[in-house]
């Protein structure tokens, strides 16, 4: 007999997989010239950010679901603004890639996320260059190269956009750890959206004004309110589903669900978008990259276990009590705060500006 708590965990994982896959496929359908034909990725991203920020404002200021954090100008300028800038960049580049390459190939390129995060962590001094991790990064990169070589509809521009977005997201994750640790700031998904979404919207306004507004004035762009509303609603729901998944499962479960989601998404994309063709080299290269990712995940999880202090259980219990204020059940883990950057890589998704609690990072991770 499966317990109620385990059933809820599986339900949250299923919701996360469906929403994550749905947002990616929905974005591709909206942006693709062959389908809905709204080839304005910055505009679409700004719609998402504006909608998310508005919902967060009402939840905090009007309905008072959660209290706002003490945000000073110094913290906003030194933490929120740079994190928002790289978050906006990652969404801009990632969504633009849909115009040039298939969803399946994008998912294969996303196997580079651990490589990008490791490189940025080493450059920022939050991780050390280790031989075992370096060899895993080489294996992942080798697999992605093979997969790219086997891509029939390979497009340099789309690949550059996607890889640039991956590195921008990796830098955002590392900066989140570095900057928020120094300030001791704890944000839940609602307050994250409240502060980050408007700032990201403003960062996107400049490239939108220069690149997409002139196109909107001279071309006939169709705008369907319900299409964009439902698309933004799915993106917002994805944020909360990720929060629920992190709160109820461990890093290994999240990563397994992520791998399962990637394979499902690759298969679904070839059905929904018939122009997407997967070759044997695509599959072989992606399988090699996943082997490297799995080994990397194992090594990082092993590092986290070995770095836990004797007082970690006490800290975790404290975090669980505090997380209940934000709607997590008493049997949940420590929410966002209990996961470090290497664990957050497993659930990096479009429209998901989750910020880990600095308190959790400090209590669960060994400083480099």
Helices (H), the chain: 4-31, 41-57, 73-75, 81-97, 103-109, 113-124, 131-149, 156-183, 189-207, 213-218, 225-248, 251-272, 280-307, 312-323, 341-344, 358-364
**If you search the block for the tokens 């399962």, which residue do you land on?**
260
pLDDT confidence of residue 325: 30
> Can you give the pLDDT at residue 176?
86
Per DSSP, the residues of 314-346 read HHHHHHHHHHGGGT--TTS--GGGG--HHHHGG
> According to the model, what pLDDT value does residue 348 have?
54
Please, which residues have CB within 8 angstroms of residue 279's CB and are 6 or more apart in sequence? 150, 151, 152
Give this prediction's pTM: 0.83
What is the pLDDT, as a whole number, of residue 94? 95
pLDDT digits (tens, 9 = 90+) for 48-90: 999 999 999 999 999 998 888 888 898 899 999 999 999 999 9
Q: Walk along the chain (368 residues) and give the pLDDT tens digit of each residue.
A: 568 888 888 898 999 999 999 999 999 999 998 899 999 999 999 999 999 999 999 999 999 988 888 888 988 999 999 999 999 999 999 999 999 999 999 999 999 999 999 999 999 888 888 898 999 999 999 999 999 999 999 999 999 999 999 999 999 999 888 887 677 777 778 888 999 999 999 999 999 999 999 988 777 777 899 999 999 999 999 988 887 887 777 766 777 788 889 899 999 999 999 888 899 999 999 999 999 988 888 888 788 778 765 554 444 444 333 333 323 333 332 233 334 444 444 455 554 544 443 333 323 333 33
d(Cα 326, Cα 347) in Å, to the nearest integer?
20
Q: What is the pLDDT of residue 360?
A: 35
Determine the Cα–Cα distance for residues 111 and 301; give it in Å rounded to an integer: 18
């Amino acid at each position: 007999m499966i317990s109620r708590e385990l059933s809820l965990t599986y339900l949250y994982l299923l919701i996360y997989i469906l929403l994550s896959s749905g947002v990616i496929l929905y974005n591709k359908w909206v942006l693709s010239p062959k389908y809905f034909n709204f080839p304005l990725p910055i505009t679409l991203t700004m719609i998402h950010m504006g909608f998310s920020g508005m919902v967060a404002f009402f939840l905090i200021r009007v309905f008072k679901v959660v209290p706002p954090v003490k945000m000073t100008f110094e913290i906003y300028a030194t933490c929120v603004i740079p994190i928002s800038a790289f978050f906006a960049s990652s969404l801009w580049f990632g969504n633009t890639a849909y115009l040039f390459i298939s969803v399946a190939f994008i998912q294969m390129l996303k196997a580079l996320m651990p490589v990008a995060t490791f490189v940025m962590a080493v450059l920022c001094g939050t991780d050390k260059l280790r031989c075992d991790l370096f060899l895993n990064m080489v294996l992942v990169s080798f697999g992605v190269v093979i997969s790219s070589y086997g891509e029939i509809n390979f497009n340099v521009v789309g690949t550059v956009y996607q890889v640039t977005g991956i590195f921008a997201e990796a830098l955002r994750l590392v900066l989140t750890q570095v900057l928020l640790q120094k300030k001791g700031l704890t944000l839940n998904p609602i307050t994250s959206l409240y502060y980050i979404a408007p700032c990201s919207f403003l960062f996107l306004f400049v490239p939108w004004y220069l690149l997409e507004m002139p196109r909107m004035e001279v071309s006939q762009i169709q705008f369907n309110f319900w299409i964009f509303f439902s698309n933004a609603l799915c993106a917002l729901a994805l944020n909360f589903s990720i929060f629920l998944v992190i709160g109820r499962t461990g890093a290994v479960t999240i990563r397994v669900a992520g791998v399962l989601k990637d394979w499902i998404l690759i298969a679904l994309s070839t059905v929904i978008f018939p122009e997407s063709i997967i070759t044997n080299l695509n599959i072989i290269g992606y399988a090699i990259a996943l082997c490297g990712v799995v080994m990397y995940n194992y090594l990082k999880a092993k590092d986290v276990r070995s770095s836990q202090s004797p007082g970690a259980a006490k800290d975790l219990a404290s975090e669980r009590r505090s997380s209940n204020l934000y709607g997590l059940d008493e049997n949940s883990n420590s929410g966002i705060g209990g996961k470090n950057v290497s664990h957050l890589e497993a659930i990096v998704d479009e429209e998901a500006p989750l910020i880990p609690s600095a308190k959790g990072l400090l209590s669960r991770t060994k400083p480099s």
